[in-house]
Chain A
Amino acid sequence: MLNAIACVTLLPLFGFFVLTLLRPPERVAAWIGCGTVAAAAAILFTITIGFLQNPPAEGHAVVHYGTWVGIGSFQPGFSAWVDMLTLTMLCIITGVGFLIHVYSAGYMVRDEGFARYFSYLNLFIAAMTVLVMADNLLLLFMGWEGVGLCSYLLIGFWYRDPANGAAARKAFIVTRVGDTAMIIGFFMLYLQFSTIDIAEILRRSHEAIYFNQSLYTVVALLLLGGAVGKSAQLPLQTWLPDAMAGPTPVSALIHAATMVTAGVYLIARTHPLFMQAPLAQHAVGWVGLLTLLIAGASALVQVDIKRILAYSTISQIGYMFLGLGVGAWSASIFHLMTHAFFKALLFLSAGTVIFCLHHKQDITEMGGLRKLMPLTFASFVIGCGSLASLPLITSGFYSKDEILIGAWNSGEMAFFWGGVVGALITAVYSFRLVFVVFFGAPKTHPDHAPTLNMQVPLVLLGILSVMGGAIHLRLDGVLPIGSHEVSTGGHGMISALLIVLPLVGVALAWWLYRRGITWTKTTGAPAAMLFFRRGWAFDALYDAVLVHPWVWLATVNRSDVVDSGYTAVARLTQWLYQQASITQTGSVRWYAGVMIFGFTLILSAAVFL
């Protein structure tokens, strides 16, 4: 049965080829797109249940399908690594992916690129499953770049607008910076261990003969570079807010639920390396902490509904990194899963709002939608409640709770208190969004109604967002015992704090909203607010430090300075020729005279010397 796991990749891939080559009409394309993913999900759930009932002895299994490249010890193959971490990720990808496919069939209706859209979406699912199942570094990189490509194609899906193209390129290139760091880390791993099999590398990293603390630190930091790029963490977070240029279901699937969490998956997968390099693991925590605070502050003051969610995604992935940094491994993956549910729900709800309001995204033009779109309102409140981790009834509460307990247990108090402040900010910005969009007087009336295939995924994701906290991930064989699972006392106080905190946040948001403080002014706003809204001016910084110098350098040397060296040789030859041609007067007597003179000179030289 395990052998069938390749279908999880191959079915969506098959869908991609069919959709690309045949470009079928809308209805057929939707059936192919959703059908292949549904079949993949069905096969996967069967496999997962089988796996849970009869787990392999070592807790994992490898299915080998074929050789990709084989030269000496460099043997990347097409093989699937199956353990509970992989299966958890796969379930999230195909499950949430399927729901978003279904939703897209309604959202993208009557778009001229309908088939193209579904082909990219299918390719994304295929690439993401490759990333997760890869048992060697090269195959992992294939999936890693594949999802980046799909992200590029889908952000720039409406290609007529140059702004979309720019956002797409930015996303690709910025993540590529991280990918480059990551592949350098892969080079080092291969040099050190003479294998690119991930499990083998992790096993050997414990062996004394291979042990090299500084190398592990460097490698772990390089892998962190890759993770930071893909997961939009500091300092490579700038691409994600712009990536909202793509269709909203794409933002839900790629830029919230799955692809951006690949960095978390990578670090969790290679956790033995990070555990041997405490410095690097600490860096992961700091990256997460700083990102969650910075992005949270930016989310507070955005006016575009999707950008708020984008910053909140960055911030929530910051929590996952924080969890990884403090050794709360399974808590991070748990948060990854619940985040996938509630953030997909939020994006799809936001998509419904945008769809019904005719592609309006500015929250200042919305308001009072509570009565007009009750289902969307309900799902939005569930999503935001989960994001704000409202106690006991939302899944986000359980996962964030675990991460913060892990941070407390780690002993690094900055991690804990930073996370607490972040949680408060999260609660405020998520309910600011709810209040501004759904309360007050209606400003715009929806002229569309969401279709049934858009509503069903909302309901299902809403249920998952509420009940997701009850899912018990069985990662104990894959990931080490996390710091959140160790009891160090004082937890009663922390739990009380974490229960009260979101409620305080919601109350604060309500109080601010009642007093008209919504931070939505675009002109005459305080400088700090604009600074936060511009994402702490990281874009401006990178433009000034990297983009502009690069463009300048390229433009100034457009015609290749090296060529001027060769042109100079040509010029010199021409100049010499001109000098020589002066002597060619055309006067025969002058020629004869010079000839005789020269002849005499040579002759006398021959005679007298």
Chain B
Amino acid sequence: MMLLDLIVLLFGGGILAWISGRMDARFPRWVSLIVLLVGLLYLITHWVGADPDLADRALSGIPSGSGVWQFALVADWMPLFGVKFFLAADGLSLALLVLTFGLGIVAVFSAWSEITDRSGFFYFNLLWTLAGVAGIFSALDLLLFFFFWEVMLIPMYFLISLWGHEKREYAALKFFIFTQVSGLLMLLSIIALAFFHYQQTGVITFDYFSLRNTPLPEGVGIWVMLGFFVAFTVKLPSVPFHTWLPDAHTQAPTAGSVLLAGLLLKTGAYGLMRFILPLFPSQAAQFAPIAMLLGVISILYAAKLAFAQLDFKRLIAYTSISHMGFILLGIFSANALAMQGAVIQMLAHGISSSALFAIAGSLQHRLHTRQFSRMGGLAKTMPNTAAMGVFFSIAALGMPGFGNFVGEALVLFGSFQVNPLLTMLATVGMILSPIYALKIIQKVFHANAEAEPIGDALGEQARAEDFRFHERLSMGLMVVAILWLGVHPQPVIRLVEPSISALLVPAPVQVSGLAQQDEWSIGR
């Protein structure tokens, strides 16, 4: 029940925020903050108290040997089509759920003083996006997954198109079309997968565990897999589907960028991990070299583009693409080391890129520019902001001691076992990342502005206020989190270990006749 409670809490909290916004524009942010804090506490307290080996495993139809699942909840949703409302969480999901709530709080803090217009609706959208993300991380019915996939999309569209910057409508539409079209491909693949399963067993089901055993016809399987792959790599994003991201990130309000970089991209990575490898083991193995190549191209090409940018947020957006390339490389290396690296990288990148976006957003809020040429020397006037900027830039360039390094190093050590040549190319990304990361430090915080600041900008730079209390709080949390991931990632590794070994082994055959019969009855 816990997962449902969390999702309902977010949906309900969103509505509450909207209503409270009609009373006072300052209420919604408090409502959102309280909702997220309550959710986080609820998640952690239940998690600590939960028994990982569930008694109702048989009831939920989760076969043994498919990882350690908790909090399972199964109910009929559309019995005619065998669609179930099936939520459950394993270590991977739980880690990402914690990230969801944590970054939700960061997003609220970065919107805190920035959003004054229609704040009720803003926080409604914010919480509904989070609800969609939380649903994605816990749905185990493919149609339910798709439902949450779409739920996440629309509020995000509003966040960009209503509260974004100068080119917001273009960016929001681009984001929407890319995601929607690729989502459609995924829907087709889901239906095709269920169809082939029906053909062979006579059971209509969208259950994740049942579909794991579906043998697909030769030649068709790869196309079904590609439907999923495209949807997830658009979201990830990977070259050549990445071009929505720089626009969306740049134009989105700060909180929107935080959610996009921190969480929405992770849903793509999660999808690749959760669905592609287990559902299509042989096709994925066949396709792996191409996927890894795409990952490597993403790493290098996006790093090159990042270096060229003149806009702070756009640069960070490209670094995200570069970092997500490591995740793609890691997942398709399909060994425990690289997969663990991909998970750590997901969490660490979620934190570091969110932090950088929060910094860029707060600078834009204060200086009214994102252009490097009009910034400079902020280390003197805004020491705290500068310290954080330097800290997270260094995290982004993969310095050991920060979570990002652990992620990248594990991915590379793992993928070298599989494909040394591509790994060596990917390692070249380690040379390119300092080039762009140090550019941020140099242009924004050190040296003086190159161009003549327009109008009052110079005065604003001199007067610009350093981080406020709530900003320092959220930054401090992220600093602790990323150092913790960098120095002591072992708890996370141990947490996701069963999930990853379950994802990597071939699907366990369902021996229990009971579970089979259950599906029969649902199928009818």
Chain A residues with CB under 8 Å of chain B are 20, 66-72, 74, 138, 141-142, 145-146, 149, 152, 156, 159-162, 165-166, 168-169, 172-173, 176-177, 179-180, 183-184, 186-188, 190-191, 550, 553-555, 557-558, 560, 562-563, 565-566
Whether A565 touches B240, Cβ cut-off 8 Å, given contacts A69-B493, A173-B438, A191-B416, is: yes
Known: A74-B413, A159-B445. Is A563-B400 also a contact (CB below 8 A)?
A: no
Chain A nearest Cβ from B296, distance in angstroms? 14
Q: Which residues of A contact B284 (CB under 8 A)?
A: none
Q: Given A560-B246, A562-B239, A566-B243, A162–B416 Cβ distance below 8 Å?
A: no
Which chain B residues numbered 276 to 305 have a C-beta less than 8 Å away from chain A? 304-305
B402–chain A nearest beta-carbon distance, Å:
10
Are the C-beta atoms of B490 and A70 separated by less than 8 Å? yes
Instruction: Give the 7 A-B residue pairs with the shortest CB-CB distance, closest first.
Output: A142-B400, A554-B308, A159-B446, A563-B243, A187-B416, A558-B308, A162-B447
Which residues of chain B (75-108) have a CB below 8 Å from chain A?
none
| Least CB distance, B421 to chain A, in whole angstroms | 11
Q: B493: which A residues are within 8 A, CB to CB?
A: 69-71
- Given that A69-B489, A142-B400, A180-B431 are known contacts, is A159 also in contact with B447, CB under 8 Å in the complex? yes
A180 touching B304 in the complex, CB below 8 Å, given contacts A69-B410, A169-B442:
no
A48, B304: Cα distance in complex, Å: 48
Q: Does B448 contact A (CB under 8 A)?
A: yes
* Chain B neighbourhood of A20, CB < 8 A: 387
Is B307 positioned at the interface, with any CB of A under 8 Å from its CB? yes
Is B220 interfacial (CB-CB < 8 Å)?
Answer: no
Can you list 26 pairs linking A and B with CB atoms under 8 Å apart?
A68-B488, A68-B489, A71-B410, A74-B337, A74-B413, A138-B409, A146-B401, A156-B446, A159-B446, A160-B446, A162-B447, A165-B442, A165-B446, A169-B442, A173-B431, A173-B438, A180-B427, A180-B431, A184-B423, A554-B304, A554-B307, A557-B308, A560-B243, A560-B246, A562-B240, A562-B242
Name the contact of B401 in the complex, choosing from A142, A180, A566 (C-beta under 8 A): A142
Complex contacts, A161 vs chain B, CB 8 Å: 447
Q: Is the CB of B490 within 8 A of A146?
A: no
Q: Which A residue sits closest to B239, measured CB to CB?
A: A562
User: In the docked arrangement, what's the CA distance between A560 and B243, Å?
Assistant: 8
Residue from A67, A160, A172 in contact with B377 in the complex, judged by beta carbons closer than 8 Å: A160
Residues of A within 8 A of B447 (CB): 159-162, 165
Known: A138-B409, A553-B304. A191 touches B243 (CB 8 A): no
Q: In the docked arrangement, what's the CA distance between A20 and B412, Å? A: 32
Most buried by B among A69, A74, A149: A69
Cβ-based interface call for B213 (8 A): no
Q: Which residues 217-234 of B sit at the A interface, judged by CB distance below 8 A?
A: none
Q: In this assembly, does B203 line the interface, its C-beta being within 8 Å of a C-beta of chain A?
A: no
Within 8 A of A (CB), among B473-507: 487-490, 493, 497
B204 CB, nearest partner CB in chain A, Å: 36
Residue B417 at the A interface, CB < 8 A? Answer: yes
Q: What A residues does B162 contact at CB under 8 A?
A: none
- Provide the residues of chain A in CB contact with B239, threshold 8 Å: 562
Which A residues are in CB contact (< 8 Å) with B243?
A: 560, 562-563, 566
Q: Give Cα A168–Cα B413 distance, bound, in whole angstroms.
A: 29
Q: Is the CB of A68 within 8 A of B412?
A: no
B residues touching A (Cβ–Cβ < 8 Å)?
239-240, 242-243, 246, 304-305, 307-310, 336-337, 340, 377, 379-380, 387, 394, 399-401, 405-406, 409-410, 412-413, 416-417, 420, 423-424, 427-428, 430-431, 434-435, 438-439, 441-442, 445-448, 487-490, 493, 497
Closest to A553 in B: B304
Check A187 against B423 for contact (C-beta < 8 Å).
Answer: yes
Given contacts A67-B490, A159-B379, contact A176 B431 (CB under 8 A): yes
Q: Which of B417, B431, B439, B490 contacts A68 (CB 8 A)?
A: B490
Give chain A residues whose Cβ lies under 8 Å from the Cβ of B246.
560
Contacts of B442 in A (CB 8 A): 156, 162, 165-166, 169
Contacts of B439 in A (CB 8 A): 169
Given A172-B434, A176-B431, check contact A190 B416 (CB 8 Å): yes
Of residues B239, B336, B431, B448, which shows the largest number of chain A Cβ atoms within 10 Å of its Cβ? B431
Q: CB-nearest residue of chain A relative to B433?
A: A176
Contact (Cβ within 8 A) A149 B490: no
Q: A10 CA to B310 CA in the complex, in Å?
A: 40
Chain A residues lying within 8 Å of B424, measured Cβ to Cβ, are: 184
A69:B490 contact, CB within 8 angstroms: yes
Instruction: Enumerate chain A residues within 8 angstroms of B307, measured Cβ to Cβ.
Output: 550, 554
- A149-B399, A176-B434, A180-B430 given; A72·B337 CB < 8 A: yes
Is the Cβ of A68 less than 8 Å from the Cβ of B305?
no
Interchain CA distance A477-B412 in the complex, whole Å: 35
The CA-CA distance from A565 to B488 in the complex, in Å, is: 44
- A69 — which chain B residues lie within 8 A by C-beta? 406, 410, 489-490, 493
- Cα distance A20–B383 in the bound complex, in angstroms: 11
* Chain A residues positioned under 8 Å from B428 (CB to CB): 180
Complex CA gap A32/B521 in Å reads 73
CB–CB A191/B417 < 8 A: yes
| The residue from B400, B431, B490 contacting A177, defined by CB atoms under 8 A apart | B431
Provide the bound-state CA to CA distance between A156 and B390, in Å.
Answer: 12
B420 & A191 in contact (Cβ 8 Å cutoff): yes
Q: Which residue of A lies closest to B497 (CB)?
A: A71
